[in-house]
Structure formats: C-alpha cells, structure tokens
Amino acid sequence: MALVRNNSSNGREPVLSPRSLTSPRGLTSPRPLSVQPTPEPVRPLANFPPSIWADRFISFSLDNSQLEAYANALEEPKEAVKSLITDTTIDANTKLKLIYSVHRLGLSYLYPDEIDAELNKLFEKIDLQYYEQVDLYTIAVQFQVFRHHGYKISSDVFKKFKDSTTGTFTDDVTKDVKGMLSLYESAHLRLHGEDILDEALAFTEAHLKKIVTTLEGDLARQVNQVLKRPFHTGMPMVEARLYFITHEEDFSSHESVVKLAKVHFNYLQLQQKEELRLVSQWWKDMQFQQSVPYIRDRVPEIYLWILGLYFEPYYSRARIIATKITLFLVVLDDTYDAYATIDEIRSITDAINRWEISAIDQLPEYIKPFYRILLNEYDDLEKEYSKDGRAFSVHASKQAFQEIARGYLEEAEWLHNGYVATFPEYMKNGLITSAYNVISKSALVGMGAIADEEALAWYETHPKILKASELISRLQDDVMTFQFERKRGQSATGVDAYIKEYNVSEEVAIKELMKMIENAWKDINEGCLKPTEVSVALLTPILNLARMIDVVYKFDDGFTFPGKTLKDYITLLFVSPPPSLEN
Ligand SMILES: CC(C)=CCC/C(C)=C/CC/C(C)=C/COP(=O)(O)OP(=O)(O)O
Ligand SMILES: [Mg+2]
Ligand SMILES: [Mg+2]
Ligand SMILES: [Mg+2]
C-alpha cells in the first residue's frame, strides 16, 4: 500500500498509468506463485491537453544580417526621438503626451535618464491650479505618465470631476469617452487610501461597459481593449503592439516615433523568435515528452511568461535561463500534482534537497532524466557565472528551487493526510508555491551587473512588493484553478482554506481573495514610487510577474488550457508579421 497515494477521501478514480501499459510485468520469466506482483500505483493523472504548437517554433532560422540591419536602422530614429524628448521648445503638455506614448510603445528603456530628467523638471513645476482648468483626458494622461515613472502625483487632481453635493462623478464625465477611458487606466495605478480612484474604477468601468457597443472606429477598439485588460495589468510587449495598432492618433504626428516603434518591433520579433527556437530545441533534445509525458507541454507559453518579465534585447540570455528554470517548475509541479505517489514525492523532494547526482539512485525511473538535467543545467550555470563572480545568483535560484520542492511536498502531505490547512498556514506555504520567488531570483541570474549581491540581499529580506506579487500569483491561480483541482482531488487551495477558516460560502471566499489581490496591487504600485528601495530595473520584473498572472488567469486557467488568450498573444508576437517598414 505504501506506493498508493491515499486519496480515498478525495474521490479520485483509480487511473491506469501509461507506464503500467508498457510495464514488462508478465513478459519476464514466470515468478514463483507465492510472490505477489508489486501493484501499480494509482496515479492522479490529469490528462492535460497537449501543446497546441507542436514543433512549430523549432524550424525558425535566424538571418543574422537581417537582425543587424534592424539594429542599424534603429539608430537614426532613436536619436531623433531622443531629441524630441529633450527638446526645450516643446510645451509641457505635448512633452508629457510624447513620453506617455513612448512608454506605452515599450520604448522608454532606451531613454531612462532623459525621461527622468524631463519628468523631474516638470514634476517640480506641477501647479494644481493648472489642473483646475484642463480636461479629464489631459489630466489623466499626465497622471499616468508621472505614476508610470514613479512620481507620486496626487489623485486629488480628479477631485473636480466629482459633484460636491452627491459625492459621485458628474454626468459630464460620462459624456467624455476618452476622458473616462484614461481615468479608468489611471485608476489601476491606485495606492492604499485613494478612495477617489477606487470609485473612479467602478464608475468608469460601469459606464464604459454601458456605451461600448455604441462606439465606432479606433475609439470602439480602444474601449474594448481597455475593458479586456488595462495597460497597467497587461504584458508590456503585447500592450505595446496593441497600442501601436489602436492609438495611432496619439503619436502619428511624431514621424520618428512611428519609425522607431516599427523597426523596434521588427528587431525584437526576430530576436525573440530565435530565443523561442532555442528553448524549444533544448526542450525537444532533453526529451521531456518521452520521460514525463504526463506534464503540461507548454514551452511557448512559458517563454511568453518570461518575456513578460523583461523584453529588452540585452536580457536575451536572462530570458533563456529563466525560461528553462520555469519549465523545470512545470515538470516539478505536474509531477507532484498529477503523477507521483506520496512516497515518490518524498523521495524526489529529498533528492532535490540533497542536490548530488548519487541521489539519483533513490528516484523512480521516470524522473531520473529530469533530475540529471536539472543538476547539469545548474552546474553549467554555476560554471558560466563563477567566471565573473556571479555564482551567488545561481545559488540563490537553486535554494529557491529546493524551497519550492519542500513547499509542494507540504501540500502533498496535507492531501495525503486529508488535511485542509488553516488560512495563515496555507498562505505561508502558498507564497512559496506561487513559484514567484524561484522565478524572480532565476530572472536575476542572466541580468548582469545590475543584479549584484546587494540586489540579492534585498530579495532575501522578502520585500513587500515581492510578497504582493507572490500573493497575487498564488490566489489568482487558486481562484481560477480550484474547481479543476478539486474535481481531480488535488491538494486544498486558498479557496478551501479560506472557507474552512472563516466558515463562509465559496462565493464570499472568492470575493475576499479578490480583495486581497486588489490590495496587493496597491502594495506593488506603492513599491514602484520614488524613492524606490532598489533600482527600477530590479523592480520591474516583479511588477511584470503580477501582470502575467492577470494575463494568464483573468478569465480562465489560461495555462492549462492555452487555446485562448495565450494563443492570441503567441500568434501576435511570434507568428503574425510585425508592422511593415514600407509605409
Ligand atoms: C502558481 C502559479 C500561478 C505559478 C506561476 C508561475 C509558473 C509559470 C510556475 C510553473 C508551474 C505552473 C505553471 C503552475 C501553475 O499551475 P497550477 O495551477 O497547477 O499551479 P499549482 O499546482 O501551484 O496550483
Ligand atoms: Mg501544485
Ligand atoms: Mg499544479
Ligand atoms: Mg492551481
């Protein structure tokens, strides 16, 4: 019985493992009658849908001269846009709108110092009197541009749009669609205590939904887009592409911005297709589909996830490393949740924590190749990064990987014992199983000098912004996956723990968890304001991890069932042609 996972209380049907079908039992020489054959363990197979991409991205062949040509073509418009950003003859409003567009197009990383210098000047000169005279759209764009870059402009700038007697937003606001749209975008940048933005979010969302079918052209496209996903909670790379398509009027007067955005999209697509080819080929070479066929085969989806953290060309190596480690996490999570017995889980966790190749002997056959690959990859990273004294980041990633294995084991023990954790107990382990500690630390490995020992020490303090991102990951995943997982008899989720702790209905529990997610977003927004605890380059991946949870889990479990949002995103970024340079 030791091999059989105790799932009598979770309604799992015994499932025949694919290994039992190929088992040599019965083909070997006859056993003496007195020896009972070892029973095949009952495995919690999930029958996850297969990849929707197969080998599609492996056949890409990078034309290096083309990549170089794009890199060269970037230079001229890049300089021209720099001149625009620093042009002293441009009025403040036009300048702020320009910086807004540059940011939404994913180009502000090219001008960090110039943009900061401009915003510093303009923020010092902010005159609340001025905001008394201007329209909602102008105010909301300026509000966003300052908050995007960490400047704490007051949300009082929106006060004048409220009726002093009723205390609600005025009817005039509902007649200004562009204003409402921008106020809706602004509201997602809210901080704790900014009631006016909480109200603005509910108010504009309700009104935009009411009028969206009456709109036409770009405005209709813009409102549909923002209602689906506001910029602040979207994937920067995709948001840039969508903004280019639907908000052309915002930047079309600046020819150099249009040119730069186009060449930049073309350059990035080539580079990213090559990265995707590389990780797809690696995945195939490692033969995970043969050794662990029960897992979710999701290479393009995981690459997309990591591209969501950072898309800057100089993080190419960093993306490849983080993608591979996150793919290891998928193998681990699905092995624990959808294949291994409790004894196997204990043994795998132990081997991962021993981290030595001799531990391979204690492992079940099917996971041995994974264990070997895991140790080899980390070994290679250690060798590569000790050369420039950066092995500390590889160690941190490895330790976080060992910690998540222990976290997954804890869940499995709870399930094995038919135990539903208390909510605080669940959350303590849940922040670990959110995987965001491992992913964000692994993301540092290839980032270069900026991710130094001091940065890592900051990570080790488990800062508020990282906790918030982990909480969003854990709870949003739980809200969207608990039904599927419950049906399969998996470990209790945050939804179950909350219901048990507070004796509330499922509906109330979900509502409360969503409120916790909302609050965590406010922590993230506060953590991105100046003065930041560490550089923006280190904060952005943490913010972007939270965004990726929204992308993947806002409407459904987009990771297990990747045929909708993620398919559209992958198609837009790696299959559809980027904007043409011809016109
Ligand atoms: C938890 C989470 C959203 C992590 C995101 C980061 C990430 C890409 C981790 C790799 C493992 C994974 C895809 C978990 C989500 O599925 P699942 O619902 O099976 O995860 P679970 O078993 O922890 O609930
Ligand atoms: Mg799990
Ligand atoms: Mg799982
Ligand atoms: Mg889940």
Ligand nearest the Cα atom of residue 442: 1
CA 261 to chain centre: 23
**Per-residue pLDDT tens digits for 261-292:** 999 999 999 999 999 999 999 999 999 999 99
Q: Per-10-residue mean pLDDT for the chain, 583 residues long?
A: 37 33 33 63 94 97 98 98 98 97 98 98 92 96 98 97 94 96 98 98 98 97 98 98 97 98 98 98 98 98 98 98 99 98 98 98 98 98 95 98 98 97 98 98 97 97 98 98 93 97 98 98 98 98 98 97 96 98 84
The protein residue whose alpha carbon is closest to atom 13 in ligand 1 is 330
Secondary structure element (H or E) that encloses residue 191, with its range: none
Residue from 325, 559, 560 whose mutation best tests the ligand 1 pocket (most atoms within 8 A of CB): 559
How many other CB atoms sit within 10 Å of the CB of residue 329?
A: 18
- Which residue has its alpha carbon closest to ligand 1 atom 1? 434
Q: Confirm or reject: Cβ of 350 under 6 Å from ligand 1.
A: no
CB of 437 closer than 6 angstroms to any ligand 1 atom: no
Can you tell me the distance from the alpha carbon of 112 to that of 121, in angstroms, rounded to the nearest whole number? 14
Other beta carbons within 10 angstroms of residue 534's beta carbon come to 18
Q: What is the dihedral of CA 104, 109, 111, 117, to 10 degrees?
A: 80
What Cα–Cα distance (Å) separates residue 479 from each residue in 141, 268, 495, 516, 553? 33, 34, 7, 12, 9
Question: How many angstroms separate the CA atoms of 194 and 200, rounded?
Answer: 10
Q: Fill in the amino acid letter for 543.
A: L
Tell me what pLDDT residue 388 has. 87
Question: Rounded distance, CA 1 to CA 23, Å?
Answer: 19
From-to residues of CATH 1.10.600.10 in the chain: 287-575
Gap between the Cα atoms of 243 and 237, Å rounded: 10
Q: Whose CA is nearest to atom 11 of ligand 1?
A: 330
Q: What would the two tokens of residue 262 be?
A: 């186009």
CA of 433 to the centre of ligand 1 (A): 8
**How far is Cα 106 from Cα 300, in angstroms, rounded to an integer?**
21
Q: Which pTM does this prediction carry?
A: 0.94
For residues 519 and 526, the answer to whether their CB atoms sit within 8 Å is no
pLDDT at 357: 98
- CA–CA distance from 164 to each of 187, 196, 199 (Å)? 20, 13, 14
Q: Which atom of ligand 1 is nearest to the CA of 298?
A: 13
Ligand 2 centroid to residue 402 C-alpha, Å? 14
List, by residue range, all CATH 1.50.10.130 domains of the chain: 75-256
d(CA 337, ligand 4 centre) in Å: 9
Measured CA to CA, the distance from residue 304 to residue 284 in angstroms comes to: 18
Superfamily of domain 287-575: Farnesyl Diphosphate Synthase (1.10.600.10)
477: Cβ below 6 Å to ligand 1? yes
Chain-centroid distance of CA 376 in Å reads 26
What is the reported pLDDT for 33? 53
Angle at 150 between CA 149 and CA 152, to 5 degrees: 125
Q: What is the pLDDT of residues 476-493, one digit of tens each?
A: 999 999 999 999 989 999
Ligand 1 pocket check for 433: Cβ under 6 Å: yes
Token pair of 551 as six digits: 């992308």
Q: How many helices (H) and strands (E) does the chain have?
A: 27, 0
How far apart, in Å, are the Cα atoms of 417 and each of 120, 342, 407? 58, 10, 16
DSSP assignment string, 210-268: HHGGG--HHHHHHHHHHHH--GGGS-HHHHHHHHHHH-HHHHTT-HHHHHHHHHHHHHH
559 pocket-lining for ligand 1 (C-beta < 6 Å): yes
Residues 489 and 410: their CA atoms lie apart, in Å, by 16
Protein residue whose Cα sits closest to atom 2 of ligand 1:
434
Whether 470 lines ligand 1, by a CB cut-off of 6 Å, is no
Are the C-beta atoms of 551 and 570 separated by less than 8 Å?
no
Q: Which of 406, 477, 488, 550 to mutate to test the pocket of ligand 1 (most atoms within 8 A of CB)?
A: 477
What is residue 398's predicted lDDT score, i.e. its pLDDT? 98
Ligand 1 atom having least distance to the Cα of 439: 6
Q: Whose CA is nearest to atom 6 of ligand 1?
A: 435
Using CA atoms, how far residue 334 sits from 106, 293, 304, 347, in Å, is 34, 10, 19, 16
User: For residue 218, what are the contacts with CB-CB under 8 A and spacing of at least 6?
Assistant: 246, 247, 248, 249
Q: How far apart are CA 93 and CA 487, in angstroms?
A: 55
Pick the CATH number of 75-256 from 3.30.830.10, 3.80.10.10, 1.50.10.130, 3.40.50.150: 1.50.10.130
Q: Is the Cβ atom of 305 under 6 angstroms away from ligand 1?
A: yes
DSSP per position, 330-397: HHHHHHHHHT--HHHHHHHHHHHHH--GGGGGGS-GGGHHHHHHHHHHHHHHHHHHHTTT-HHHHHHH
* Residue 15 token pair: 């499932």
What pLDDT score does 35 carry? 59
* Cβ 411 under 6 angstroms from ligand 1: no
d(CA 175, CA 200): 15
> What DSSP line would sit under 7-40, residue for residue?
-GGGTPPP---HHHHH--TTTSSPPPTTSPPPPP
Distance of CA 337 to CAs 193, 333, 408, 417, Å?
A: 40, 6, 9, 15
Tell me the chain's radius of gyration from C-alpha atoms. Answer: 26
Kindly state if the Cβ of 442 falls inside 6 Å of ligand 1: no
Opening angle at CA 124, ends 89 and 158, nearest 5? 100
Q: Environment class of residue 501 by beta-carbon count within 10 Å: exposed (0-12), middle (13-18) or buried (19+)? A: middle
pLDDT of residue 25: 29
- Angstrom CA distances, 200 to 146, 173, 209, 224, stand at 18, 10, 14, 18
